[in-house]
Amino acid sequence: MDHKSLKINKQSWDQAAGRFFGRNPLPEYGPLAPSEDQLNLFGDVTNLKVLDIGCGSGHSLQYMDKRNAGELWGVDLSKTQVDSATKLLQKSVSPVKIFESPMEEDPGLPVNYFDVVFSIYALGWTTDLDKTVRNVNKYLKKDGIFIFSWEHPIYSRVKQIDGSLSFNKSYHEEGPYYHEAWDQPAIMQQFRLSTYLNTLVTNGFKIERVIEDVCLSDEELKRHSNRWYSYDKAKTLPTTLIIKSKKL
């Protein structure tokens, strides 16, 4: 686990939390990507115990509360995000527990307890993918579901220059990098698609769905297009990777 990167990212998220308050939570999986309304990966969550890894401002947990989840649990690195989520979920029908912790560490969550663990555009912040996925497996009941989304690993490797798309870095090169779309220093992790899949399999998961589709409707483009996510790139490359897996 890279403690230096975690410290930088914690400071960055504490500063940027307001800018990302309520941005792209469930039912959205990511910019210009299909939503849960279209994919129905979770199915009926009534009375299920759910855990959000990288819960941010708590809006995805709020979505789960509105769908009658039984218990709402969340983990986030940022104290500012944890405070925001705690405040947002004060009036939830379902009981709520939020922990301030890196996803690489177990803050004392129950073992073999959750029906569903999910992570919406957060897993790529981990400094130790194997340990994080191992934690998720530990938290889940047998046959429990793990669903996550993150920026597709090929998207940041291609740059648009003068109307043309070209690779600016090797897809095969993994590891930490500073993301150019962030104002504050922020260290994300580059993993190939095969690394995500193999890490899940190695840690006792069965892959059920892998989704790389894009949604380029006028509504989606109006809501999500910016200097980083654009129609010209998205019509050629997937913006978002979504994976559903089951604990064996």
Total of domains in the chain: 1
* Res 171 pLDDT > 90: yes
pTM: 0.93
Question: 118-149, pLDDT tens digit by residue?
Answer: 999 999 999 999 999 999 999 999 999 999 99
Query: What six digits make up the tokens of 114?
Result: 């959750």
* Res 94 pLDDT > 80: yes
Taking the chain, what is the end-to-end CA distance rounded to the nearest angstrom? 26
Give the 3-state secondary structure of residue 126: coil
* Res 206 pLDDT > 70: yes
Classify strands 114-120 and 140-151 as parallel, antiparallel or unpaired. Answer: parallel
Mean pLDDT, range 78-102, rounded to an integer: 97
- Which CATH number fits the domain that encloses residue 232? 3.40.50.150
* Res 109 pLDDT > 80: yes
Expressed as residue numbers, the domain containing 157 is 3-247
Average pLDDT of the chain to the nearest whole number: 92
Query: In percent, how much of the chain has pLDDT > 90?
Result: 73
Classify strands 49-53 and 114-120 as parallel, antiparallel or unpaired. Answer: parallel
Report the C-alpha gap between 53 and 114 in whole angstroms.
12
Query: What six digits make up the tokens of 189?
Result: 């992790």
Q: Picking from 11-15, 51-55, 82-86, which range would have the lowest pLDDT averaged per residue? A: 11-15
